[in-house]
Amino acid sequence: MLFAGPLRYSVVFARPEASGAEVAAVLHTAAAAEIAADLPDGLETVVGERGATLSGGQRQRVALARTLLAQPALLVLDDVTSALDAATEARVVERLAARLDATGSTLLVITSRPLLLGLVDRVLLLDEGRIVADGPHTELLATSPRYREVLAAAPEPAPAGSP
């Protein structure tokens, strides 16, 4: 969820005292720096109620930047890359992995997107509300037919440049 007003407000909401360098770092991690750079007034551009002037993927990346700026000990991401194209998703996942290594935050990912599984140490596969597989991604690939089946059916990210 983004707020009416300047884009900056939606980013710094959790930590209004954040420095410009901290804001720039989280925007970079979330692959959102280019969003601000492309807007006529950068972070001061008014984006409308709920970020109406931005695409779904742009809103998702700005919301991720805000979350990262809050520096939570536990970071819960629910389909955080669902509206991103493949190239942007890969950049976000790579940068997020580096940031998590540096900050030591615990990450809980809820996803149907396989690329995010590289960020976690342990996967729990739920089927009809029950845990049917539990372990590291590579182990589950080798030992769980149901896990492989779910991954094979996972939605593919959109190609780069698609709407």
What is the full per-residue pLDDT of the chain (163 aa) written as tens digits? 777 788 888 899 989 999 999 999 999 999 999 888 888 888 888 786 666 668 888 888 988 999 999 988 888 888 887 788 888 888 888 888 888 888 878 888 888 777 777 778 889 998 888 999 999 988 998 999 998 888 887 766 555 554 4
Q: Which domains, from first to last, does the chain contain?
A: 1-71 (3.40.50.300), 72-163 (3.40.50.300)
Written in H, E and C, the secondary structure of the chain is: CCCCCEHHHHHHCCCCCCCHHHHHHHHHHCCCHHHHHHCCCHHHCECCHHHCCCCHHHHHHHHHHHHHHCCCCEEEEECCCCCCEHHHHHHHHHHHHHHHHHHCCEEEEECCCHHHHHHCCCEEEEECCEEEEEECHHHHHHHCHHHHHHHHCCCCCECCCCC
